[in-house]
Amino acid sequence: MCGIIAVTGRPDAARVLIQGLERLEYRGYDSAGLSVTDGEGGIVRVRVAGKVNELKAAWNSREAGSCGIAHTRWATHGPATEANAHPHTAGRVHVVHNGIIENYRSLREATTKAGATFHSQTDTEVIAWLYAAALEESNDVVDAFQRTVRKLEGAYSLAVMVDGEDDLLLGARRGAPLLAGFDDTAGYLASDPLALAGEAQSLIFLEDGEIAAVRPGRVDITDLTGRAVTRPVQPAQLSPVLAEKGSYRHFMEKEIHEQPEVVARTLGAYVDQVENTIRARDGLDFSKASRLLIVGCGTAAYAGEVAEYWFERIARLPTEVDIASEFRYRDPAFLEGDVALFISQSGETADTLEAMRLCKAAGLITVALVNTAHSTMAREADIVAPTLAGPEIGVASTKAFSCQLAALACLAVRAGIERGHLDTASVTDHVAQLMAIPGTMSEALRADGQIDQLARDLSRSEIVLYLGRDQYFPMALEGALKLKEISYIHAEGYAAGELKHGPIALVEEGVSVIVLAPSDSLFAKTRSSIEQVRARGAHVLALTDEAGAEALEGLVQASILLPAARGAANLMSAAVAVQLIAYHVAVHKGTDVDQPRNLAKSVTVE
């Protein structure tokens, strides 16, 4: 949700902090700030209401010391103002925080009665006042920090520095990601390993209820009572090159074009090409499953809805898809033999994580489909199903979504094998379809120029409707979501067969309708839906193949030609098209493509 980075033992601390914030800005960009030792026994703090480049300008390369903390914010408590920007201070304490402190009001009332004067509307400032008060009672800065953290309820990751402790950083986590890093001469804290790419040599991922004391070259971890904790040390594997746009205008554009490569990488984790099959996953036996529950948020939920068609059709496995926030609170009824699969790019999505914990407590087998190997969901799930999209910086998910679809398609085939619904010839055919996906997506990218031209007119639309049938219905929902997210055009996705049950009332002269219309067994019915909206004056754009375009000639304003393919490959070429439509429309509208308003990449609070 927000981004944290902290460093000690680096003479270029401010540079490391600002560079880290630039990489973390996908997590929040309403405001930003940093506090750095000034080399003379004090700490200098600079904050802005705005993005990291504005903080960089405000900092203006001033001299500073070797220890500091920094933050880029997505507003929760209080609007995006300089006063609400992190770090927050009280006494000797400077603190940055991701998450929400649920008992903030009672803590604020207590600290105010004790003499605290608040300067912001955030819940974070109360942490600074609590710790400042604890330091007045104890000379042990770590013990005072532990006592402070024990008073907090809710989700948080914290990075703290104390005036007079020039080489010490303190971190704590509960329900929001935090990791520590180190090398021979420096120490780090961050909310995402991407922030430390090219800096730290080794990483330690904190668990809930743990505190890190970070000094140059050293990280000590304890629980909230002060008992020492040992955590595995992981090599830092990310390259700083991964955070660069290269020749592309936006990260989203780059990530759309990376999809053939990263989808191929993901398929390689599931497909055994020598044996022409899908590898089994330890601990996961679909033959014993009575039902598959799929849970996610936003784009991840739409990936699950696509997969529902696949699991039921290929494996005859009853499947239900839920939005995580609704699943948690509707008191779901479980069946014996239920398997629950949770989809999250970050592996930290708060609602999805809590839904997984609910299922785990009920005794269900839990599967985490995640892009982040060391995330909380990956650590807590019974089984991890990886996606290998690499870091995704653009807030609107593209390559992570495609890798989720690729992994789900593989799992559906594996389920069909284990449940006895696929013979050897069928498995071989499904594997061939799966391995065709990267090439099909690469071919679909050739429509980029045509889509760019068509997007100019679409960018002037006030409303855009997406229609699809079968597996293309959730893809229509995803297409509408992408357009909403980055162009701010009111877009809706519908099942094409539902037109006469209400949505057709929205169609009038000039309304734009985008129809996913592959020349498959349902093409005639899709064509009928096109005729219905065309008769009412809609401006129709079809996403189809050569045969479909020929059949629709004269009926639609334009057809975007996609490669003819089978199964998941056909669907995923359509994914490329709806992503490119959203991207180019947003560019023509002049919106902030990578950092759309009010959104953040990883939502780690409810």
- Report DSSP letters for 28-60, one per residue: --SEEEEEEE-SSS-EEEEEESS-HHHHHHHHT
* 8 Å CB contact between 9 and 216: yes
- What's the chain's Rg over C-alpha atoms? 25
pLDDT band at residue 273, thresholds of 50, 70 and 90?
Answer: confident
**Exposure of 433 in the CB half-sphere (CA atoms within 13 A):** 20
Catalytic sites, residue numbers: 2, 601
3-state secondary structure of 71: strand
Number of Cβ within a 10 Å radius of residue 369 = 29
pLDDT at 241: 53
Number of Cβ within a 10 Å radius of residue 290 = 12
CA distances to 183, 238, 270, 315, 373 from 385, in Å:
31, 20, 9, 18, 10
pLDDT at 368: 96
Please, what is the Cα angle at 332 between 327 and 335, to 5 degrees?
130
DSSP 167: T
> Which amino acid makes up residue 375?
S
- Report DSSP letters for 530-544, one per residue: HHHHHTTT-EEEEEE
Tokens 């559906």 found at: 412
356-379 pLDDT per residue, tens = 999 999 999 999 999 988 888 999
| Domains, the chain, ordered by start | 3-243 (3.60.20.10), 248-435 (3.40.50.10490), 445-606 (3.40.50.10490)
222-261 pLDDT per residue, tens = 999 999 999 989 888 765 555 566 667 888 998 998 888 8
pLDDT at 198: 87
Would the pLDDT of 124 be above 80?
A: yes
Strand order in the sheet with 558-561: 490-495, 463-468, 512-516, 539-544, 558-561
Q: Distance (Å, rounded) from C-alpha 302 to C-alpha 295?
A: 10
pLDDT at 443: 87
- Model pTM? 0.77
* 8 Å CB contact between 389 and 21: no
CA distances to 6, 8, 167, 317 from 13, in Å:
9, 7, 11, 54
Would the pLDDT of 142 be above 70?
A: yes
Q: Distance (Å, rounded) from C-alpha 160 to C-alpha 97?
A: 9
* Average per-residue pLDDT for the chain: 90
Would the pLDDT of 606 be above 90?
A: no
65-105 pLDDT per residue, tens = 899 999 998 766 678 899 999 999 999 999 999 877 878 88
204-214 pLDDT per residue, tens = 989 889 999 99
Strand order in the sheet with 365-370: 319-323, 291-296, 338-344, 365-370, 383-386
Q: Distance (Å, rounded) from C-alpha 60 to C-alpha 23?
A: 19
Peptide bond into 87 cis (omega under 30): yes
548-596 pLDDT per residue, tens = 999 999 899 899 999 998 889 899 999 999 999 999 999 999 998 888 7
